[in-house]
C-alpha cells in the first residue's frame, strides 16, 4: 500500500475510535472508571514508548544539532495548545452546558486535526515510525473519546447524536493528514523539526496530563495494576521496535 493510503487508513481508523462510547452506554459508572484508569496507564506507556523508542531515535538519525531544542519546543507548543483548548471552555457561571458542549466539539476537532498532522508526518518519514505513532495516538485517544462522549451526553445530546457528532469531530484528523501530506512532505526542514517536536508533545501529554490522573488514585493496591498496564504500553512499543528492526 502507498504511503498516502496508509496515512488515510490510519487516520480513518483513529476516527472510528470516537465510536467507542457505544460500548459504555449500558455500563455502570464504576466499570467505566476502572476501564479508563487502566487504559490511561497503558496510554502513558504507549506515549513514552513512542517518544523514546521510536521518535527520538529517528530524530537523532536526522543529525541536526538542534534536535533537542525541537523536543523542548514540542513540549512548549503542546502546553500552549492545551492552554488554548482549556481557555475555550466556558466557566459554569458564564455559559450554559449546551454552549459548552459545542465548544468542546470545536476543541476536539482541533485536537484531532493535529493528530492527523502527527500521523502523516510520521508515515512520510518512515512507515514503521508511522505505525508506532498511530498506535501511540490511538492509546491516548480511547480514554479521551470516552470522556468526550460523556460530555456530549451531559450537554443534552441523545446517544445517537453524541456518537455522530463525536465521529464527525474525529474526522478532522483525516483533513489534517491530507494537508500534511500535500504540503509538509515538500519541505524537508519542516519534517526535521516535526518529528522531535512530536516526541516532545508525547512526553508532555504523558507526564503533564495522564500521570497526574493516575496520582488521583490514592489506594496503594492500585499501584501494581497501574505499573503493569504502563509497562504493557512500553512493552508494546519496544516489541514494535524490535520487530521493525529485524
pLDDT in tens, 53-107: 988 998 888 777 889 999 999 999 989 887 876 654 444 445 455 556 776 787 7
Report residue 139 as a C-alpha cell: 492509546
Q: Is residue 177 part of a domain?
A: yes
Q: Is residue 26 part of a domain?
A: no
Asked if 102 and 161 count as a contact pair (C-beta separation under 8 A), the reply is no
Q: Is residue 21 part of a domain?
A: no
Closest of 209, 212, 235, 229 to residue 52, by C-alpha: 235
Reported as type and span, the H/E element at residue 224 is helix 223-245
The number of distinct structural domains making up the chain is 1
- Structural domain containing residue 217: 3-16+31-239
Q: Where do we find the cell 533537542?
A: 68
CA distance 29 to 192: 44
Closest of 209, 108, 89, 97 to residue 149, by C-alpha: 108
Q: Is residue 185 part of a domain?
A: yes
- This prediction has a pTM of 0.76
pLDDT number for residue 156: 77
Q: Is residue 246 part of a domain?
A: no
Amino acid at each position: 500500500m502507498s504511503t498516502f493510503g496508509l496515512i488515510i487508513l490510519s487516520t480513518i481508523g483513529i476516527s472510528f475510535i470516537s465510536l467507542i462510547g457505544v460500548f459504555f452506554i449500558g455500563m455502570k459508572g464504576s466499570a467505566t472508571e476502572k476501564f479508563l484508569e487502566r487504559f490511561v496507564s497503558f496510554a502513558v506507556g504507549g506515549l513514552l514508548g513512542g517518544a523514546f523508542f521510536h521518535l527520538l531515535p529517528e530524530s537523532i538519525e536526522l543529525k541536526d544539532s538542534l534536535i533537542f531544542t525541537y523536543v523542548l519546543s514540542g513540549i512548549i507548543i503542546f502546553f500552549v495548545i492545551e492552554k488554548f483548548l482549556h481557555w475555550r471552555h466556558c466557566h459554569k457561571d458564564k455559559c450554559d452546558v449546551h454552549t459548552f458542549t459545542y465548544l468542546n466539539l470545536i476543541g476536539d476537532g482541533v485536537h484531532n486535526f493535529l493528530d492527523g498532522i502527527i500521523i502523516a508526518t510520521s508515515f512520510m518519514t518512515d512507515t514503521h515510525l508511522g505505525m508506532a505513532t498511530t498506535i501511540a495516538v490511538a492509546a491516548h485517544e480511547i480514554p479521551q473519546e470516552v470522556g468526550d462522549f460523556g460530555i456530549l451526553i451531559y450537554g443534552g445530546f441523545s446517544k445517537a447524536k453524541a456518537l455522530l457528532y463525536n465521529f464527525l469531530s474525529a474526522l478532522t484528523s483525516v483533513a489534517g493528514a491530507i494537508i500534511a501530506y500535500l504540503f509538509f512532505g515538500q519541505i524537508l526542514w519542516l519534517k526535521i523539526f516535526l518529528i522531535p517536536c512530536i516526541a516532545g508533545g508525547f512526553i508532555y501529554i504523558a507526564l503533564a496530563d495522564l500521570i497526574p490522573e493516575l496520582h488521583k488514585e490514592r489506594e496503594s493496591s492500585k499501584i501494581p495494576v497501574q505499573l503493569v498496564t504502563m509497562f504493557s504500553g512500553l512493552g508494546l512499543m519496544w516489541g514494535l521496535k524490535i520487530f521493525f528492526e529485524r
